Amino acid sequence: MDLSYGPEYEVFREETREFINSHRDQAPRGQGMKSPEVLNWQKLLIENGYAARTIPKAYGGYGAQPDILKSRIIAEEFASAQVNSGLGGQGISMLVPTLLEVGTEEQKQQFIGPTLRGEMVWCQGYSEPGAGSDLASLRTAAVLEGDEWVVNGQKIWTSTAQHADWIFCLVRTEPDAPKHKGISFLLFEMSTPGIEIRPLVDMTGVANFNETFFTDVRVPKHQIVGERGQGWMVANAILGHERDSLGNPNVTLSRLNSLMELMKTETIAGERLIDNPIYRDRLMQIQGRVMALQCNDLRVLSSRLNNTDARLARMIVKLQGTELRHDLEGLAIDVMGEMGLAYADNPHLRDRGSWQSQYMYYLGLIIGGGTSQIQKNIISERGLDMPREPKVEKAS
């Protein structure tokens, strides 16, 4: 057992802290996706190696050797300073890693740089009205006509489709193949004729996701990642990346600290909330759970450093992390009583209304990216080696 990262890394941590402290006033706070503040901050972070750190220079990254601990230190320091750590989004967190793994040289050149810089915004077109948890049953079709794929069908829950320049999209190209083998992974511009976007308002009151309709959308033949029929494999490489980034315990820890501050400042009958033993016990229950997941996270990190797979310890992170975060945000609301109801323009808002919006947002993350129930299927079948459910014959 050795928790120190070593002197070389402590120097790096100091540098990171210094960078954050001397530049934090330039960090964007809630400005729009392509605002100058956001684009400049992203540029600054890449130039200094705090974003796109290990992506080759040739593709617009910083070009450092992969170093798990340095990446980790960056994540820890930005989270604890509560400073914007650069662009996330599905393009950067999902598409870029996939292109690096399976994209052609041309695709890497064309897409990675502008995506990293925030100039090219992506949306993810996977889910359909009839294909959610059972994603492989998707029906949006693409048929090859000459040099073009012709796409017809509908996607749903497409986050940020209304702001996106491009979409990475799963479509069925081999209707006669078994369902997992008939899917392809296409990239196309959202300005292509035949795409219609209808915003869907979510429970937080924001229209962040959409229904996306495709009618004879014509896509150049080469805008496919991987081979025809390999889309499921390509997509699964990405889902791994997505799950790893959900329920990150570093961010949860900084939320826990904010919750403690809240409970030290808010009062009931003149008494601080933290001085109420029942509220305090609930806070301590959450702190215990946060601590357990932080320790688990260290174990997973250490196994990555050793090139081993922490299996169950890794598989449970999305389930436990998102559920914990939802409970943490919910506790803040509970201890505030009626004050916890404030929303939107209410003058009595606490912490800019983040407790209610995060409480709901994390319910969305419990559902999105593989629901909690699907996670439990995965944990039991792959982690505990329990028998799969018998297949149900398709009623015809």
Ligand X SMILES: Cc1cc2nc3c(=O)[nH]c(=O)nc-3n(C[C@H](O)[C@H](O)[C@H](O)COP(=O)(O)OP(=O)(O)OC[C@H]3O[C@@H](n4cnc5c(N)ncnc54)[C@H](O)[C@@H]3O)c2cc1C
Catalytic residues: 242
308 close to 327: Cβ distance less than 8 angstroms: no
Contact residue for another protein among 288, 309, 337, 346 (CB under 8 A): 288
146 close to 197: Cβ distance less than 8 angstroms: no
Largest CA distance in the chain: 75
Q: What are the angstrom distances between the C-alpha of 52 and each of 45, 63, 101, 102, 249?
A: 8, 8, 15, 18, 21
Tell me the window of 88-96, 119-127, 168-176, 303-311 that interacts with another protein (CB under 8 A): 303-311
Q: Which partner, another protein, ligand X, none, binds residue 281 by CB below 5 to 8 Å per kind? A: another protein
Is 352 a binder of another protein (CB under 8 A)?
no
Distance CA 325, CA 312 (A): 20
Tell me the window of 18-26, 101-109, 166-174, 375-383 that interacts with another protein (CB under 8 A): 375-383
Residue 391 Cβ vs another protein, minimum distance, rounded to whole Å: 11
Contact residue for another protein among 301, 339, 342, 349 (CB under 8 A): 301
What string of DSSP letters covers 344-389?
TT-TT-SGGGHHHHHHHHHHHHHHTTS-HHHHHHHIIIIIS-PPPP
Tell me the window of 31-39, 87-95, 214-222, 286-294 that interacts with another protein (CB under 8 A): 286-294
272 close to 283: Cβ distance less than 8 angstroms: no
Kindly write out the interface string for residues 192-231 of this chain, putting x where it contacts ligand X by CB under 6 A and - elsewhere: -----------------x----------------------
Please report how the helices 249-265 and 277-305 are oriented relative to each other, as an axis angle in degrees rounded to 10: 160
Distance CA 127, CA 140 (A): 10
Residue 161 Cβ vs another protein, minimum distance, rounded to whole Å: 33
Distance CA 70, CA 65 (A): 10
Nearer Cβ to another protein (196/309): 309
Strand partners, 338: none
Is 295 a binder of another protein (CB under 8 A)?
yes
Is 150 a binder of another protein (CB under 8 A)?
no
Structure tokens at 239: 């889902």
Is 371 a binder of ligand X (CB under 6 A)?
yes
What string of DSSP letters covers 259-318?
HHHHHHH-EETTEEGGGSHHHHHHHHHHHHHHHHHHHHHHHHHHHHHTT---THHHHTHH
Q: Which partner, ligand X, another protein, none, binds residue 309 by CB below 5 to 8 Å per kind? A: none
Is 13 a binder of another protein (CB under 8 A)?
no
Is 377 a binder of ligand X (CB under 6 A)?
yes
Tell me the window of 230-238, 278-286, 329-337, 343-351 that interacts with another protein (CB under 8 A): 278-286
Contact residue for another protein among 269, 389, 392, 394 (CB under 8 A): 389
Tell me the window of 99-107, 173-181, 206-214, 312-320 that interacts with another protein (CB under 8 A): 312-320
Beta carbons within 8 Å of 97's beta carbon, 6+ residues apart: 237, 238, 241
Beta carbons within 8 Å of 272's beta carbon, 6+ residues apart: 263, 264, 265, 266
Is 239 a binder of another protein (CB under 8 A)?
no
Residue 238 Cβ vs another protein, minimum distance, rounded to whole Å: 23
Residue 202 Cβ vs ligand X, minimum distance, rounded to whole Å: 7
175 close to 138: Cβ distance less than 8 angstroms: no
Is 357 a binder of ligand X (CB under 6 A)?
no
Nearer Cβ to ligand X (76/244): 244
Nearer Cβ to another protein (283/332): 283
Is 11 a binder of another protein (CB under 8 A)?
no
| Interface of this chain with ligand X, residues 120 to 149, rule: CB under 6 A | 124-127, 132-133
Is 111 a binder of ligand X (CB under 6 A)?
no
Residue 370 Cβ vs ligand X, minimum distance, rounded to whole Å: 6
Map residue 73 onto helix, strand or coil.
helix
Map residue 22 onto helix, strand or coil.
helix
* Contacts with another protein, residue ranges (CB under 8 A): 1-6, 69, 260, 272, 274-275, 277, 280-281, 283-285, 287-289, 291-293, 295-296, 298-299, 301-303, 305-306, 312-313, 316, 319-320, 373, 375-377, 379-381, 383-390
